[in-house]
Amino acid sequence: MNEPKNIGQGLDRIDGLLKVTGAANYATDYKIKNVAYGVIFKSTIAAGEIATIDLSEAEKLPGILTIITHKNAPTLNVKGGIRGGALLQGPKIEFFGQHIGVVVAETFEQARYAAQLVKVTYRNGEGRVDFEKLAKEAELPKEKDKADKRRGDVDAAMSSSEVTIDAVYETPIEHHQPMEPHSTIAVWEGDKLTLYNGSQIVNGAQSAAAATLNIPPANVRIITPYIGGGFGSKGGQWANLVLTAVAAKMINRPVKLALARQQMFNSVGLRQKNVQRMRLAATKDGQLTALAHETVTHTASDAEFVEPCGDCSKLMYATPNSLITYRVFPMNVMLPTYTRGPGKSTGSFALESAMDELAHKLNMDPIELRIKNEPAKDPSNDKPWSSRTTVQCLQDGAKAFGWSKRNMKPGVTMEGDYLVGYGVAAGTYPARQRDTSALVKLSRKNNEVEAIVELAASDLGTGTFTILAQTAADALGIPMDKVAIVIGDSQLPPAAGSVGSVGAASFANAVNDGCIKITDELIAKSGKQFFKRPTAREMMLTEKLASFESRVDAKPPAEAENYSVHSFNANFAEVWVHKTTGTIKVQRMLAVTGAGKILNPKTARSQIIGGNVWGLGMALMEESVLDPRYGNFVTRSLADYHVPSNLDIGTIDTIFIDEDDKVPNKLGIKGIGEVGIVGVAAAIANAIFNATGKRVRDLPITPDKLI
């Protein structure tokens, strides 16, 4: 391969101008002729069934094309892969806000007004919506990977150890709130369906829609070149996608359906509430002898999802005795789902807070404690690390952050009326490549060679277009401005999704493999031998070829399975807490990350900053409050579901560890989309303790908990 000229450079996003000028089309921006508008209406009880639906007033309004309920909806495959139910397949109600119908009209305003006129009566059931009461019924999850994981004897180690921690940490329900709410345009042409829809997994959305609608996948096309955020909520697909297609079929014309912001709170999943008991045991010099992480959580009444909160605890620290358990119970609440850093961000809050508590009890520096318990190999499976940068992240971060200035005694450092504290936490996230195909097309006109690279990847706004253009330009020997990246269409070669931090590794390696393959084929076609390997551009010119193309089906290296492969990070925070009001200001944050080859430091830095901002919201603001009387969310908009704004954010610095790890894939890429959030909430919580001497174990940490 040629010496990289673009990979590793902090280049501007090639799609940036389109976005800032409004020229980039998101799902509902496409100009579709004769489009009608759909509006979903929802249940106002948490459990029971629909007794009657009176549509008479709504149907009298001008512009109403149809109203779809369980009485006239077509039969759908409820096991087709659409998450969360709510497909209008019967009168049963499983949660407050369940879809119970769709109004389709000539205009959005007509549909919305008509939806308000629908009158529904119910036969109420007994709603299971009180977490505290129901938690006593929690049982072992059905998922095999959530079975109890034991190593050694934790209870014996706890009873005999010199120093122990036994504490419960709580994280609340949170909601994804991407800038672009979930929205779809459905267009039927005979038995062929095109869905313009924000989808983190393009081919996954295609197969789920097809299976649920009982049609062949080849008859469904997903178009999603730009996505306005997703954070996991657009990884799986929800009922609104299929209901838009159903509406379009019923009126025989295109339909546009966009969820309102308030509807997002009970339509597309959530991060479930987790109650986590952490137990640590150690010797007086800080050597861990036991670690137990026991999670109790909730799921939907008709399906199961359990966030893997114990994932970090399985492998972050060396201990001879370990216990990871999950217990779950059903509630009449929307099905939980993957949310940025699923399990790792919530679980690390418990683990890293407990480690901080242990360090305080030992009168030991929390960084020293973590380094002392650094495992030589993955404790959960005895596999060697492909690489592990935790110690370097902590040490480099401590130096850059000025950790030596931290006073180990909490509640004594002051700046005016503010108590000042420093906090640290470590984290990890798996690094994986997934099967992805790519098509590389070359064309020559005179002495100019251009490339088009096609694959069914997606770009959440993270810079996928740019890093793939960088990769292709280097591998082909073509200037970046002569490379076009075409993604976001299920008709393109199939690709992994932008989920689980697999996107960059999967997409870029497929593109790189495709460029190497097409170069090899051009060299073979020429029948010549070369002292120095030529580039694809040089071959197109010397062989005077007008066009040439090649496809590759890239797979991760088989030997990667023999190693434990992860990104690692360390998060540092400086907080100021007003001594009278309890107001919290996060003055500084530093994220130090070891994530293999960084393709574009500029877009990577943006990713880490985004994770830090999300983590700050998790620590201090975000909480979806459920009314236990009715099962609805009291927080139903961004006016009362608080997320960070510019004024909430202090200085954020990022450092990337120079790491060459080719075990996970040829290019040595590890994901950063989620590791950036993993340790943030714990770092802030630990800093608050250092500032105030008050340990808050339930998020979010609000002023009332500190006064």
The predicted pLDDT at position 168 comes to 98
Which residue do the tokens 């009209």 mark?
Answer: 105
658 with 593: CB under 8 angstroms?
A: no
Element (H, E) at 150: strand 149-151
Q: Quick one: 567 exposed, middle or buried, by C-beta within 10 A (0-12, 13-18, 19+)?
A: buried
Angle between helices 344-362 and 680-692 (to 10 degrees): 30
Phi, psi of 306 (to 5 degrees): -130, 120
Q: What is the pLDDT of residues 343-374, one digit of tens each?
A: 999 999 999 999 999 999 999 999 999 999 99
- β-sheet bridge partners, residue 426: 570
pLDDT at residue 3 greater than cutoff 80: no
How far apart CA 35 and CA 40 sit, in angstroms, is 17
Prior bond to 479 cis, omega within 30?
no
- What does the pLDDT average to over 466-479? 98
- What does the pLDDT average to over 622-638? 95
| DSSP-based three-state secondary structure for 240 | helix
Is there a catalytic annotation at residue 674?
yes
The predicted pLDDT at position 425 comes to 98
pLDDT at residue 375 greater than cutoff 70: yes
566 with 430: CB under 8 angstroms?
A: yes
Structure tokens at 402: 């000025």
Structure tokens at 480: 């970046």
| DSSP-based three-state secondary structure for 144 | helix
Q: What is the pLDDT of residues 288-339, one digit of tens each?
A: 999 999 999 999 999 999 999 999 999 999 999 999 999 999 999 999 999 9
- What does the pLDDT average to over 509-529? 97
Element (H, E) at 427: strand 418-430
Phi, psi of 490 (to 5 degrees): -70, -10
313 with 323: CB under 8 angstroms?
A: no
Element (H, E) at 371: helix 366-372
527 residue type, one letter: G
Angle between helices 239-251 and 202-213 (to 10 degrees): 50
Structure tokens at 359: 């360090």
Indicate which residue of 174, 180, 659, 674 is catalytic: 674
Q: Out of 3.30.365.10, 3.20.20.80, 3.90.1150.10, 3.30.310.50, which CATH number does the structure's domain 274-432+561-705 have?
A: 3.30.365.10
- What does the pLDDT average to over 104-125? 98
Q: What letter does residue 447 receive in the DSSP assignment?
A: T
37 residue type, one letter: Y
Question: What CATH architecture applies to the domain 32-126+179-229+234-266?
Answer: 2-Layer Sandwich (3.30)
- What does the pLDDT average to over 636-640? 94
Structure tokens at 145: 């990977």
597 residue type, one letter: K
How far apart CA 268 and CA 359 sit, in angstroms, is 40
b/e sequence 600-609, b meaning 16+ C-beta within 10 Å: beebbbbbbb
Check if CATH label 3.90.1150.10 holds for domain 16-24+434-555. no
Sheet holding 48-54, edge to edge: 92-93, 48-54, 119-124
The predicted pLDDT at position 225 comes to 86
The predicted pLDDT at position 105 comes to 98
Which residue do the tokens 């008509």 mark?
Answer: 114
Structure tokens at 19: 């976005």
Q: Categorize the per-residue pLDDT at 1 as very low, low, confident or very high, splitting at 50, 70 and 90.
A: low
Q: What is the DSSP string of 566-634?
A: EEEEEEEEEEEEETTT--EEEEEEEEEEE-B--S-HHHHHHHHHHHHHHHHHHHHT----B-TTT--BS
CA dihedral 524, 525, 527, 533 (to 10 degrees): -50
From the list 165, 157, 220, the residue with the least C-alpha distance to 490 is 220
Share of the chain above pLDDT 90, in %: 99
274 residue type, one letter: N
The predicted pLDDT at position 240 comes to 98
Angle between helices 503-526 and 464-476 (to 10 degrees): 20
94 with 302: CB under 8 angstroms?
A: yes
222 with 490: CB under 8 angstroms?
A: yes
Total H helices, total E strands in the chain: 17, 26
From the list 64, 160, 529, 126, the residue with the least C-alpha distance to 330 is 126
Phi, psi of 247 (to 5 degrees): -65, -45
- What does the pLDDT average to over 674-694? 98
Q: Quick one: 447 exposed, middle or buried, by C-beta within 10 A (0-12, 13-18, 19+)?
A: exposed
Share of the chain above pLDDT 70, in %: 100
Q: What is the pLDDT of residues 28-50, one digit of tens each?
A: 999 999 999 999 999 999 999 99
The predicted pLDDT at position 4 comes to 79
Element (H, E) at 562: none
Q: What is the pLDDT of residues 248-265, one digit of tens each?
A: 999 999 999 999 999 999
Q: What is the pLDDT of residues 141-180, one digit of tens each?
A: 999 999 999 999 999 999 999 999 999 999 999 999 999 9
Q: What letter does residue 59 receive in the DSSP assignment?
A: H
How far apart CA 450 and CA 469 sit, in angstroms, is 12
pLDDT at residue 636 greater than cutoff 90: yes
pLDDT at residue 2 greater than cutoff 70: no
The model's pTM: 0.97
Domain boundary assignment for the chain: 16-24+434-555, 32-126+179-229+234-266, 274-432+561-705
Q: How many CB atoms lie within 10 A of CB 594?
A: 28
How far apart CA 487 and CA 481 sit, in angstroms, is 17
How many residues are given for the chain? 707
3-state secondary structure 98-122: CEEEEEEECCHHHHHHHHHHCEEEE
How far apart CA 468 and CA 505 sit, in angstroms, is 10
